[in-house]
Structure 1
Amino acid sequence: MADTTIRVPADVRDHLAELAAERGTTIGQLVAALARPARTRAQIRASYEHDRDYIAAHLVPGLGDDDADRGLAVLADIKRRARG
């Protein structure tokens, strides 16, 4: 894979260099490790649609978008309550 250059303020570069040194890696490897798990909106949507379709096909026939949206709202409420 070809490398590229990104421009950041000097203080950010210095911070990244310090973090990379503490972890025994390079700035490029550090940035890659930080970016890799972050998903784009399109990736999140595709994952949601795949999971919803799987559930509808294998677990809850007839599951619709409204059902999935209500389930997401319930999950968000549970997480909010757990945080206090």
Structure 2
Amino acid sequence: MADTTIKVDPAVRDRLQELARDRGITMRDLLAQLAGATPTKEELTQRREETKAYVEEHFLGGPYTEADAKVGEQLWADVLSGRIGEVQ
């Protein structure tokens, strides 16, 4: 494998080195893991479309609408705020 140089600020280099050391790996391996685990815009779009198709098929029985999105957003807000599961 051929090496290449990536120029970053010293603070970024130090941070990457600390993260790698904490994981017991080299900075090379850390960067490879970060690159492999970070999806591109195209990959995110593909995941969104696949997820939408799954939800439509298995939960909605039809198209995912703006109303569905609003219900989901409210549900997520309720989960984050702790309102889901409260005794009223």
Question: What TM-score does the superposition give when structure 2 sets the normalisation length?
Answer: 0.63
Corresponding position: 1:21 with 2:5: no
Question: Which residue does 2:59 correspond to in 1?
Answer: 59
Question: Which residue does 1:39 correspond to in 2?
Answer: 39
CA separation in 1, counterparts of 2:52 and 2:31? Answer: 32
Distance 1:28 1:71, change over 3 A: farther
List gaps (5 residues or longer) in structure 2: 83-88
Q: Deviations over 1:15-36 (max 9, x none)?
A: 3223323432111111222343
- The residue identity in structure 2 corresponding to 1:66 is E
CA separation in 2, counterparts of 1:59 and 1:30? Answer: 38
SS of equivalent to 1:7: coil
Q: Deviations over 1:31-80 (max 9, x none)?
A: 22234333333322221211111222233221323244224412431243
List gaps (5 residues or longer) in structure 1: none
Question: What TM-score does the superposition give when structure 1 sets the normalisation length?
Answer: 0.65
SS of equivalent to 1:59: helix
Shift of 1:11: 2.6
What is the alpha-carbon root mean square deviation over aligned residues? 2.6
- The residue identity in structure 2 corresponding to 1:4 is T
% of aligned pairs identical? 33
Q: Which runs of 4+ in 1 moved over 6 A?
A: none
